[in-house]
Amino acid sequence: MSAKNGAIKLVAGNSNPALAEAIGAFLGQPLTRAIVRRFADMEVFVEIQENVRGSDVFVIQSTSYPANDHLMELLIVTDALRRASARRITAVIPYFGYARQDRKAGGRTPISAKLVANLITHAGADRVMTLDLHAAQIQGFFDIPTDNLYASPVMVRDIKERFDLTNLMVVSPDVGGVVRARGLAKRINAPLAIIDKRRERAGESEVMNVIGDVEGYTCILIDDIVDSGGTLVNAADALLANGAKEVYAYITHGVLSGGATARIASSKLKELVITDSIQPTEAVRVAHNIRVLSIASLIGEAIGRTASEESVSSLFD
């Protein structure tokens, strides 16, 4: 990393300490000493225990479960740094929660992603760095520079190491994710299939129609978030019913709430590959068919480039 990086400071909240440590190790930069704890009534208290005056500070914090606690930590750490005269504060949010609330889905509903963007900006962040936003236009919700990084280079490297590319089919589990899946398919020169979900009548289960001939192919489902796991499991069943040989899934953010891990473990999915943008739970770590890829070097490289005023987008050319 460049000489300018001497002025970098890395501060971590409690959402993903393992990833923050790994990013620090990549940059050769120990985490700044800070206390982020709770009072008895669960109010968040923060104390930065090193001088950050004039420093280029990167706050590493996913707004994953419990989302509101981790968001509050991010806001209060940012406020503490601003009041400590940090020169520039970058909110590094590997998983940006509330991203699925990016538009009014019905009457009298909020656009929570915009509200969260306002909160982060008003807390004092000068720029934002995040990974695989659920909807790319959320970048426009911020009035400060926003870098949306992509996990696809990490996934492509892993796929190339593990699969025979001549017999691979990339699949989007829904129509909305086609652009993401197409981008990855292009990188590995693989054909693309799409799953069209539709509910014929209220209360009936969804029908999965596979668009594309998947017979004999090893299929890789690509998406940004796996939450309940229901869509993935049903998609895998539909692909196998249509003659697919095996089904894998590469998903950036393993939200995996409720009984999702058990649902994946008992499914016909050969393997679910997620990144450590959200700290994996013990259940995820011991699941036989879930594997975690590290994105520490990707985020670390982006932080180093930001600090030395180099291009971040060229990482993905």
Taking Cα atoms as reference points, which of 92, 74, 82, 120 lies closest to residue 26?
A: 92
Taking Cα atoms as reference points, which of 231, 317, 224 lies closest to residue 267?
A: 231
Catalytic machinery residues:
197
Contact 226, 249 (CB under 8 A): yes
Distance CA 163, CA 169 (A): 11
3-class DSSP string for the chain: CCHHHHHEEEEECCCCHHHHHHHHHHHCCCCCCEEEEECCCCCEEEEECCCCCCCEEEEECCCCCCHHHHHHHHHHHHHHHHHCCCCEEEEEECCCCCCCCCCCCCCCCCCHHHHHHHHHHHHCCCEEEEECCCCHHHHHHCCCCEEEECCHHHHHHHHHHHCCHHHEEEEECCHHHHHHHHHHHHHHCCCEEEEEEECCCCCCCCEEEEECCCCCCEEEEEEEEECCCHHHHHHHHHHHHCCCCEEEEEEEEECCCCCHHHHHHCCCCCEEEEECCCCCCHHHHHCCCEEEECCHHHHHHHHHHHHCCCCCHHHHC
- Bond before 66 cis per omega within 30 degrees: yes
Contact 216, 245 (CB under 8 A): yes
Backbone angles phi and psi of 196, in degrees to 5: -100, 110
